[in-house]
Structure 1
Amino acid sequence: MIIRLMGVAALAIAAPAYAETQVIHAGRVITAAGSAPLGESTITVTDGRIVSVTPGRVPAPAGATEIDLSGKTVLPGLVDMHVHLSGDPGGDFWKEAVEPDEWGVVVGAKNALVTARAGFTTVRDLGSARDVGFVLRRGTAEGMIPGPRIISSGPAISIIGGHGDVSGFRPEVNAVLDAGNTCTGPEQCAARVREASKNGANVIKITATGGVLSQQGRGLGQHFTDPEMKAIADTAHGLGLRVAAHAHGARGIEGAARAGIDTIEHGTFADAAAIKAMKEKGTAYVPTLMAFTGIRDRLGKGVYTPTVEAKVRETLGTIGKALNAAHEAGVTIVFGTDAGVFEHGRNAEEFAQMVELGGMTPTEALASATTTAAKLLDMENEIGRIAPGYSADIIAVSGDPLADIRTLEKVDFVMVRGKRIP
């Protein structure tokens, strides 16, 4: 009898879980940027994956959940390639000395939900306190925190005293807050990449130039040397990781591209030589135009220190110029916003700036946040399209984003990995 009961229990454990099927009735479907939109269609999702996209309104099978989006345009979930989930805009820099890293998980959980509600079903979190981004990544993956799929770098790798290193305090306070993320020389920089990989990074983030919001006043020019950046890129690629470089100054952008860095973030002062290097090396550009909206909104209001305000003013006359030039040159453009420098949830406002300032078409802008972003993440067979076999990352809007890109600023329905975001 005992043997028989044990056998029954084993069979119960081995039995497959009940398949959850959802049927979406869509009024119109953009299966992928650049593809002709479909009319009324039925999308079937089982256990978090798209099973079929069928013309017309198809009756749902018994037991399936029906979702009526018959008055909406349904399209793939959006990808933001540059966010900081654990940060909010305008915070006093000195709070870095009083708030524990764990607080970033609380802030990040809040922002993960806000970001998903805005239609962004995958994000690349580029720069957070140690373990914070990784904890948020696991929380959304396991369904404990509602939010997007998260690709996380952990802390950015920086030069000593550069953007990404703690500064603005007494030396002894700087030393206590040191995250161990700085390096000098190719060998040590390679070691930092290996450490980041060991600790769980999906992507490597470096600060190739000075930054606007850090307290160091050393300008926005190149920080890492060319050999240091090459060591970083070569080591990361050997580990199967891509590298994203925060870069404002032209020579830092050019140096990062020639070193084999995969993406340039911001690219504020990219000139002809920098753009030529990006094109020749296949370096993608993540323009983060909304970051400039965030800092402009807070300029002159006592939010920033005089050091930071001076750097803010240095950047504001250039917004969109580098994107326009890079787009004309045929550089790959990928959607990213730097959310956290402005309020999370406003991410889709980047689209209009890409079109109005960067010279992109609505279709190109949408592709930058779907198919192009998915390819750069090596996830082109997982996200960025509505097609059988893909993850059910689906959003719906009223209107036509290919005619009016601002339509994406108000999202009516979001599904991430087959789970509806409340």
Structure 2
Amino acid sequence: MRNRICAAHVRGEASSRIAAQAGVDSIEHATYASDETLRMIADKGLFIVPGLRYLYSIIENGQPFGITEAIYGPAGLREEIAQAAETYRRARELGIRMCPGGDFGFAWNPHGEYAKDIEVFVRILGFSPLEAIGCATRNGAELMHMQDRIGTLEPGKLADLVVVNGDPLADIAILQDRSHLSVMKGGAWFTRNLA
């Protein structure tokens, strides 16, 4: 996998272990990864992208699309969410870098709502707002092997910014309100919603 970034979309223990052994850059979910597999992920410096927002979106937004409690209840969705939260707590204790994202693009979890996954990092996984923002920015840049150009505010890096009218460290959900956000891309304003 030279000069390529490789992600494995897996949930189970065996598939998480195989992905870690293969040395993929990122494991999307790893919900049921054992402590042994998590240690391997940590030792190899791999990333985990939990993608938890997708599961919450099924419960919160799935009904209009025919995804009801009668469907996701017997499938064990709530139990999977509980297991996932425990797995990611252990992953965090081991120092595994995590990034928000994953499994967007469904009617009940559409593209453009990525900031909701940052909120999951705070409300469910116990990250501080600053840590969660770092997972989205710094860790995201490292995962994409672009940390020399993006991910942090430093001289010489690209001027790609989200400017917030408010304090996301006090209320992480403000990142979901586009009326409070302006975006600078390449040093030029892309959207300018702030006065």
- RMSD across aligned C-alpha pairs, in angstroms? 2.3
Q: Residue 252 of structure 1 is aligned with which of 6, 15, 21?
A: 15
Give the match for residue 188 of structure 2.
Answer: 419
- Which residue of the other structure, out of 329, 332, 357, is the alignment partner of 2:94? 329
Where does the alignment leave 5 or more consecutive residues of structure 1 unmatched? 1-235
TM-score by length of 1: 0.40
The equivalences for 1:20-419 within 5 A come to: 236-237=1-2, 240-299=3-62, 303=66, 309=71, 313-319=75-81, 320-341=85-106, 342-410=109-177, 411-419=180-188
- Once the two structures are TM-superposed, the CA of residue 403 in structure 1 deviates from its matched residue by 3.0
Which runs of no fewer than 5 residues in structure 2 stay unpaired?
Answer: none
Separation in 2, partners of 1:404, 1:299: 26
- Quote the offset at 1:293 in angstroms: 2.0
8 A contact 1:296–1:312 mirrored in 2: no
Distance 1:406 1:261, change over 3 A: same
Larger Rg: 1
Which secondary structure does the structure 2 equivalent of 1:370 belong to? helix
**Post-superposition shift, 1:248?**
0.7
SS at match of 1:313: coil
Instruction: Answer 1 or 2: which has greater helix percent.
Output: 2
Looking at structure 1, the residues matched to 18 and 133 of structure 2 have their Cα atoms a distance apart, in angstroms, of 29
Q: How does the TM-score come out when normalised to structure 2? A: 0.82
1:247 Cα deviation from its structure 2 partner: 0.6
Counterpart amino acid of 2:7? A
Q: For 1:247 and 1:311, how far apart are their aligned partners in 2?
A: 21
Instruction: Go from structure 1 to structure 2 and tell me whether the alpha carbon gap of 1:334 and 1:312 turns closer, same or farther (over 3 Å shift).
Output: farther
Task: Say which structure is richer in strand.
Answer: 1
Q: CA deviation at 1:343?
A: 1.8
Q: Retained in 1: the 8 A contact 2:28–2:102?
A: no
Aligned length: 182
**Once the 2 structures are TM-superposed, how far is the Cα of residue 292 of structure 1 from its aligned partner?**
0.7
- Paired with 1:291 and 1:264, the residues of 2 have a C-alpha distance of 16
Q: CA deviation at 1:312?
A: 8.3
Q: Give identity over the alignment, percent.
A: 32
Deviation at 1:302, TM superposition (A): 5.6
What's the counterpart of residue 109 of structure 1?
A: none
User: Greater relative contact order (Cα 8 A, min sep 6): structure 1 or 2?
Assistant: 1
The separation in 2 between residues aligned to 1:312 and 1:381, in whole angstroms, is 46
